[in-house]
A and B are shown apart, each in its own frame.
Chain A
């Protein structure tokens, strides 16, 4: 008996997992992509495909939402990097082998729903809330609330995504062997030179992973703009949600989602090409 493809034991064992991935992961993704080529405001997958939805998007002002999403994500990532690197550095240098455990404590808030945490901030920041109310009754100070501004949105995003930057950064910094630090210092390097020549490049894998992780997550952020920003800004995720819900225009929503995936995918690939993780780890 002749077979076209001879399957080994390993390949056969992989079939269930492969099927699971196809049905659970690839199929919905393909469905969304396929939906983006269907006529607007239809719910069938069997019409003639066209690029009409994409044409609509390029004629509309959706690019503003795209820019808001990408811009907010970029600023969030930069703020997180500035906040997390020193924190991670301190945690690793002070707590040594306990650093990773300590960093895990920062992820405890993740057990509480993001919306609840954001509403917590609202209570804290709102006019006559915990912060402003206390200031008013104790010191008689009356300040403007920062709620429902872009600053508030950024605050929310930085707060929500902090663990996702801190964790890989702590990992990255703890991967720098302390003897290489000593060796560079011993060879005449100043503290700043040790940082620039040794610590920064050797912790780069953690930094890059943190950047990518938080950027991808932050581009998909929606609750921060809605809750903390009071819908002052409409990020692209919000547009997608509207298309799928109120507007009942699934094909348009699908096209927006596909475009977002493309933009983020291309940016991530570019970053990975620029920062070769293997090279940082000395494997190449």
Chain B
């Protein structure tokens, strides 16, 4: 994707609550028209960061620049940005139409102009026009989601912020709405900054992802980079099931693990890297017959298997250590539980990360 001009820029932004740094020295540039997602577990400071970007909190130090202009002290109602809240924060005493038109009414636009814009947005978000006069509390979860998004779009913001709006929605509808949101992003060409605790959700929608931990941004990259080249154990484990083996670099470039007797072949360790973790995604592990069929192999006991729809996951116990192997259903492993099995992987499919 072509380089984008920067719309939002964070310069060592910090937010201190008491003695706790909720957001700790974040530097970040978000591009014009980008779908940027900040991912982190609860308490990682992502909501505080978003509230600062939206103007509902002020940074303790550092600067927030919108197209190069410092907006630290600009209150939320004067920022050209808008937020979709976790609770959606719809106005329960108003109709769908009145909710969407709220910002236009505040600006003093004429009634018929307001209504035309509201209906246009309802079309874009596939809300039936008949809903215009419907009480917003009578709408279903997915419809409310669309009303909240339409209300934010009506403000015509330069940046749209999302604070986990899909977290309370059931799995199936969430999957649909994630894709819809990405379509809306394409349609409106606006900059979206999204917050979630689910890396899976971030993967589906984002151009770039920033992973937050304890107030710090630990890695920023495209979904592909975050998935295939995590730099820390934290990021690699955040995506889901993954095999992590603590290792030390031996003199010959091989990796030694206390829990495994053979030395492991892995990627060439970066300069100065002496100990860390070897990460192998479960889909890169395979059942093999002889040790020579892969760069590395271990033998253990097939302990259990879990069907995950299109894929099947196997738990293999090698001494105290647990390995997770994943296969497509078509390539199902035919062994029985408690069988002695050998699993292997190639050096190129493993990643070295720091703690």
A and B: interacting chains: yes
Docked pose: A190 CA to B78 CA in angstroms = 9
Is there a chain A Cβ closer than 8 Å to B1's Cβ? no
A contact residues around B77 at 8 Å (CB)? 185-190
A contact residues around B102 at 8 Å (CB)? 184, 187, 189, 197
Q: Quick one: given A186-B77, A186-B83, are A177 and B89 in contact (CB under 8 Å)?
A: yes
Residue of A183, A190, A197, A202 with most chain B CB atoms under a 10 A cut-off? A183
| A188:B91 contact, CB within 8 angstroms | no
- CB < 8 Å neighbour of A280 from B76, B78, B81, B93: B93
**CB-nearest residue of chain A to B80:** A188
| B93:A201 contact, CB within 8 angstroms | yes
| B89:A179 contact, CB within 8 angstroms | yes
- CB < 8 Å neighbour of A284 from B76, B81, B90, B135: B135
Q: Quick one: given A187-B102, A188-B103, A189-B106, are A182 and B89 in contact (CB under 8 Å)?
A: yes
| A187:B103 contact, CB within 8 angstroms | yes
Residue of B86, B89, B136, B155 with most chain A CB atoms under a 10 A cut-off? B89
Docked pose: A202 CA to B102 CA in angstroms = 15
| B85:A282 contact, CB within 8 angstroms | no
Question: What total of A-B pairs shows CB separation below 8 Å?
Answer: 71
| B87:A177 contact, CB within 8 angstroms | yes
| B89:A183 contact, CB within 8 angstroms | yes
Is there a chain B Cβ closer than 8 Å to A198's Cβ? yes
The digit string for B86-99, where 1 denotes a CB below 8 A from any CB of A, is 11011111000000
Q: Quick one: given A182-B56, A182-B76, A284-B135, are A187 and B92 in contact (CB under 8 Å)?
A: no
Docked pose: A171 CA to B155 CA in angstroms = 32
Is there a chain A Cβ closer than 8 Å to B114's Cβ? no
The bracket for how many chain A residues form the interface is 20 to 34
Report the minimal beta-carbon distance from B329 to chain A, rounded to whole angstroms: 43
| A186:B106 contact, CB within 8 angstroms | no
| B56:A180 contact, CB within 8 angstroms | no
Docked pose: A182 CA to B137 CA in angstroms = 19
Report the minimal beta-carbon distance from A77 to chain B, rounded to whole angstroms: 23
B contact residues around A197 at 8 Å (CB)? 91, 102, 106
Report the minimal beta-carbon distance from B333 to chain A, rounded to whole angstroms: 49
Residue of A179, A193, A201, A202 with most chain B CB atoms under a 10 A cut-off? A179
- CB < 8 Å neighbour of A179 from B76, B85, B135, B152: B85
| B137:A180 contact, CB within 8 angstroms | no
| A185:B87 contact, CB within 8 angstroms | no
| B92:A202 contact, CB within 8 angstroms | yes
The digit string for B33-57, where 1 denotes a CB below 8 A from any CB of A, is 0000000000000000000001110
Number of chain B residues whose Cβ lies closer than 8 Å to a Cβ of chain A: 28
A contact residues around B343 at 8 Å (CB)? none
Is there a chain A Cβ closer than 8 Å to B151's Cβ? yes
B contact residues around A201 at 8 Å (CB)? 93
Docked pose: A283 CA to B92 CA in angstroms = 9
Question: Which A236-276 residues have a C-beta within 8 angstroms of B?
Answer: none
| A282:B137 contact, CB within 8 angstroms | yes
Is there a chain A Cβ closer than 8 Å to B13's Cβ? no
A contact residues around B107 at 8 Å (CB)? 188
Is there a chain B Cβ closer than 8 Å to A281's Cβ? yes
| B89:A188 contact, CB within 8 angstroms | no
Report the minimal beta-carbon distance from A22 to chain B, rounded to whole angstroms: 39
**CB-nearest residue of chain A to B107:** A188
B contact residues around A280 at 8 Å (CB)? 93
Is there a chain A Cβ closer than 8 Å to B82's Cβ? yes
A contact residues around B76 at 8 Å (CB)? 182, 185-186
B contact residues around A198 at 8 Å (CB)? 91
| B92:A282 contact, CB within 8 angstroms | yes
A contact residues around B82 at 8 Å (CB)? 186-187
Docked pose: A40 CA to B30 CA in angstroms = 87
Interface residues of B (CB under 8 A from A): 54-56, 75-78, 81-83, 85-87, 89-93, 102-103, 106-107, 135-137, 151-152, 155
4 interchain residue pairs of minimum CB distance: A282-B92, A183-B89, A179-B89, A187-B103
Interface residues of A (CB under 8 A from B): 177, 179-180, 182-190, 193, 197-198, 201-202, 279-284
Known: A182-B89, A187-B103. 5 other contacts (CB 8 A): A180-B90, A185-B56, A187-B106, A187-B155, A190-B77
A-B contact pairs, 21 of them (CB 8 A): A177-B89, A179-B86, A179-B87, A180-B89, A182-B89, A183-B83, A183-B85, A183-B91, A185-B56, A185-B77, A186-B55, A186-B81, A187-B103, A188-B107, A189-B102, A189-B106, A197-B102, A197-B106, A202-B92, A281-B92, A283-B137
